[in-house]
Chain A
Amino acid sequence: MTKHVGVIPELDGRGLKEADMGMITLARQKDTHLFALVLDGSDETLKEKLSSYGVSTLVDIRLAGDLQHNPEVRAKAVIGAVKKFGISAVFGLSTARGKDLLPRIAALLESPLVMDCFNVDLEANIAETSRYSGKTLAKIKVTGPVPIFGIRPNAKEPVREPVSAKIIQFDAGAIASTQLRVVKTGETGKGSKISLAEAEIIISGGRGMKNGENFTQLFQCAEKLNAAVGASRVAVDSGWVPYALQVGQTGEKVSPKVYIACGISGSIQHFAGMKTSGMVIAINLDTAAPIMSNCDYYAVADALEVVPELTKLLEKSACVT
């Protein structure tokens, strides 16, 4: 029997994100009909893109304008669509936004939920995630109505599979949210523009950066690399950069394609946040630092000397192309 599976893409200013496509690829399994549950408006361009990854139905969920950003209202609207279209499993992203949305849906539906999944087997209802600060992989069997899976960004390489698709408008109706009101959403101006959780490349700094000012080097390099800037616990605890940049056990868990660690020793807690990275490049003066023996490439050098050179080279190559 065909399973109706809902995917919740997280749109940014430019539409669908790379991480969405990976998540959709993971949701596309044997005998599934994919419904994209779109909360932020849809159009033909979005339909084209979603259908090229196997989404057959785009559910354009209509919300009253002033309630569009209310996470409680969004959760209830998704639940409305889940019921309306007979959806039996929901996939979303384990991003900061996803962490504010998916557990709300699961709590209201009394559904099982596994966040930060690398893999999901819909037939067996088993999700793979990490436990104990990334020291173990766990297979979790979910039982109950409408299991929900928060997928770790970049966990799956997007694979296209074009299908024909249609858009269905879905009026979520009047959803009252008397308990929670969004007063405002704004940027603090701190942190890098690219979200750590979703970046393809992360350049991260630790004790070896010596002070907050030197982080400017990383931000400049990140801009050329189209990378996000991360930091170790020492760097955030010392106040060099905001906590939002911390990668590790009590910070962001990331899986970029490339993780460049500058002056980071690589404590067990730091590894907990970045060990699923595709490639790890370490630049450190200390040959005995744990990261030097558990990376793909290492350079025994002062990151403060290498990073500016890297930025210069990237500037040059940008001029050529």
Chain B
Amino acid sequence: MKLFVCVKHVPDSAAHIAIIDHIRIDENISFLLNPYDEHALTEAVRIREMNPGSEVIAVCLGKADAEKTLRSAMAMGADRGILIKTDKRHDSIETALALKTAIEQDGSPALIFTGKESIDDQGMQTLFRLGALFDFPAATNVVRLDIVSGKAVTDTEFSGGVVSTYEMSLPCVIGAGKRLNTPKYPTVRDVMRSRKSPIQAFEFSDLNMETPKARMEVIELIPYIQKRQPKEITGSPSEIAQKIVEILKNEAKVL
């Protein structure tokens, strides 16, 4: 069976983000595999191991440099990669459509994995749009996945320690949460092997897609610097506690 994992090439979380022309960022920073997608890959590889003859295919929409992210995906166990090259930043609507078209061209998915969100755009929706386009069920923030008699049984974690168990028909879309598994760092051998793994690359325009009617377009980026003016609270631990209570009462007015 074909297990597709949609991965995204995102700026390193520790990178300094500089804005150019109020609309885009200086991309001359380090980019890497979206952290949540590591969990998606790890899970896809686990499912492959249980189903001999299966294949894990990483799919990425991004600039040519996103090949690095596909190589990381392959170092983590993907068998091969598909790169849809574009210099534009596409919204989730177009991204989902491009991923769907590319996946369909490759074959019928048994399961589609992706991270529950990307750390750059934080749109939290591509996985559901993929599901709707394929007419597959989808679940987000999945922290457990079992394949039981032809169905996917997943746990989705909500806040306050609440977990819902969903049973979905296959194929389905799994939005990986952090607690799904613990990704292993690739060994040198994994990295060497990934260099030789095949990547099929083509241009976004080769997909011949119609432009969707709905759009989400970034019209302005503003640096978010909130410089606070720190004031020191001094004294013994109990004096500090006393002052904090006063601040909570009189200034923050939350008590």
Interface residues in chain A, defined as those with a beta carbon under 8 Å from any beta carbon in chain B = 69, 72, 95-97, 99-100, 103-104, 106-108, 110-116, 126, 129-145, 150, 178-198, 200-201, 225, 242-244, 246, 249-252, 257-258, 260, 268-269, 272, 275-276, 278-283, 292-302, 305-307, 309-310, 312-314, 317
Contacts and interface: CB of A to CB of B under 8 A. Distances in A.
A144 B213 contact: yes
A244 B159 contact: yes
B163 A115 contact: no
B251 interface: yes
30 contacts: A107-B129, A108-B132, A115-B124, A129-B122, A130-B224, A132-B25, A134-B224, A137-B224, A140-B216, A140-B217, A142-B217, A143-B217, A179-B169, A181-B168, A182-B166, A185-B165, A187-B160, A187-B163, A191-B160, A195-B159, A244-B160, A249-B119, A250-B36, A258-B252, A279-B247, A293-B230, A297-B232, A300-B234, A306-B237, A309-B237
B117 to A, nearest CB: 8
A244 B214 contact: no
Contact of A179 (B96, B137, B162, B255): B137
Contacts of B237: 301-302, 305-306, 309
Contacts of A251: 178
Given A295-B230, A299-B240, A309-B237, A106 B125 contact: yes
Interface stretch (B10-18, B55-63, B74-82, B198-206): B10-18
A133 B117 CA distance: 11
Nearest to A135: B17
Q: Which 7 pairs from chain A and chain B are nearest by CB?
A: A144-B214, A309-B241, A107-B132, A191-B161, A179-B137, A103-B125, A195-B159
A153 to B, nearest CB: 10
A189 B245 contact: no
Contact of B140 (A100, A106, A260, A301): A100
Contacts of A114: 123, 216
A186 B162 contact: yes
B53 interface: no
A292 B230 contact: yes
B153 interface: yes
Nearest to A193: B160
A258 B124 contact: no
B160 A306 contact: no
B231 interface: yes
Contacts of A197: 159
A184 B232 CA distance: 49
Contacts of A189: 161
Contacts of A178: 169
Nearest to A98: B124
B219 A258 contact: no
A313 B216 contact: no
Given A258-B252, A293-B230, A298-B230, A115 B161 contact: no
A293 B138 CA distance: 43
B227 interface: yes
B244 A140 contact: no
Contacts of B159: 95-96, 191, 195-198, 244, 252
A246 B232 CA distance: 26
Given A180-B168, A298-B233, A112 B214 contact: yes
B212 interface: yes
B157 interface: yes
Contacts of A112: 91, 93, 214-216
B68 interface: no
B179 interface: yes
B34 to A, nearest CB: 10
Given A103-B140, A184-B164, A193-B160, A132 B215 contact: no
B223 interface: yes
Contacts of A131: 120-122, 218, 221
A183 B222 CA distance: 44
Contacts of B172: 179
